[in-house]
Structure formats: structure tokens, C-alpha cells
């Protein structure tokens, strides 16, 4: 059985959600303030890296049920789609639009199509990092996998 550090496990569980929220904050803040899809993606990847260190590949892929290369392809497609979309209306590639709504309680919400582009970048970064983890593998992939599958059944 793979040795799992209790301290690392607990810390990762505490930090993981907060890091993901931070990464989403960075993604949305990126339009006017420091942040953006790339940085947000990196923070999310950092959170996933902690997961990988604590629990190995199995734990990682239980967290993210989507295959990494689908994330990568989806991100790339999203990026190209945002680049292409304005061209159907006769505009230049990557042209962006901004929308503003006055929402009750929350105040004014502003949304630019550049955020969709950033979300694509975010997905590309996360997908690529996950593919690297998959390439690195586990130090004892075969054993731990079968053991943990056994645990799940019990």
C-alpha cells in the first residue's frame, strides 16, 4: 500500500477548493486587473498538482472526470471560435464585445467576450499540465491502482 502522508492529505483538502476559487477569480479579474486565463490556469494546475502529489493519478482523475486531451482540444476550439466569431458579422478576427447588465442586489455586471477567450486559454493550460502528469505516471501505478480499486469495492 502506498504511503500517504496525513498532513499532506489534509492540507491539500483544505487548500484545494480555495485555490480553485482563486484561479476562477483570476480568470475573471484578468480583463482589467492582474490575472487572466493563463495565470488562472496555472493556479488551477498548481491545485491539481497538489492533488497529484498527495494521491497520485487515481485521485487526480477522480477530481477531473474529463480526459486531459479533451480539455486541451476544447480550450483550443474555444479560443479559435472566439477568434472566428466576429468575422461572421464582418468584423476583424478576435474583435470583442462588452455587455453590461444592471442586476438586482449585485449591482452592475460587465461581461466581455474576451473572457471566453481567456477561459479557452485556462482550459489549454489545465489540459496540458494534466497530460504532463499522465505522462509522468505514478511511482507505483500498477500496485496502487489495483489496491485502491479494491478499497473502493469494499
Closer to other proteins at the Cβ: 95 or 147? 95
For residue 107, which phi and psi values (nearest 5 degrees)?
A: 90, -150
Q: Which of 31, 53, 64, 96 binds other proteins (CB under 8 A)?
A: 96
Q: 55: Cβ–Cβ under 8 A, 6 or more apart, which residues?
A: 4, 9, 12
- Residues numbered 34 to 93 that lie near other proteins (CB under 8 A) are 69-70, 72-74, 76-77, 79-81, 83-84, 87, 90-93
Q: Which of 58, 95, 138, 147 binds other proteins (CB under 8 A)?
A: 95
Q: Are 72 and 154 in contact (CB under 8 A)?
A: no
- Residue 41 and residue 44: Cα distance in Å, rounded? 5
**Residue bearing cell 500500500:** 1
Closer to other proteins at the Cβ: 18 or 77? 77
Contact residues for other proteins, defined by CB under 8 A = 69-70, 72-74, 76-77, 79-81, 83-84, 87, 90-96
Amino acid at each position: 500500500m502506498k504511503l500517504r502522508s496525513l498532513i499532506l492529505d489534509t492540507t491539500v483538502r483544505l487548500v484545494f477548493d480555495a485555490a480553485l476559487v482563486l484561479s476562477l477569480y483570476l480568470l475573471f479579474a484578468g480583463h482589467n486587473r492582474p490575472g487572466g486565463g493563463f495565470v488562472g490556469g496555472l493556479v488551477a494546475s498548481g491545485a491539481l498538482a497538489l492533488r497529484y502529489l498527495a494521491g497520485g493519478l487515481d485521485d487526480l482523475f477522480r477530481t477531473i472526470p474529463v480526459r486531459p486531451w479533451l480539455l486541451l482540444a476544447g480550450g483550443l476550439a474555444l479560443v479559435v471560435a472566439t477568434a472566428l466569431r466576429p468575422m461572421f458579422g464582418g468584423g476583424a478576427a478576435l474583435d470583442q464585445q462588452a455587455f453590461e447588465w444592471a442586476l438586482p442586489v449585485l449591482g452592475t455586471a460587465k461581461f466581455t467576450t474576451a473572457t471566453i477567450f481567456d477561459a479557452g486559454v485556462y482550459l489549454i493550460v489545465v489540459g496540458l499540465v494534466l497530460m504532463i502528469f499522465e505522462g509522468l505516471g505514478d511511482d507505483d501505478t500498477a500496485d496502487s491502482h489495483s489496491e485502491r480499486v479494491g478499497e473502493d469495492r469494499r
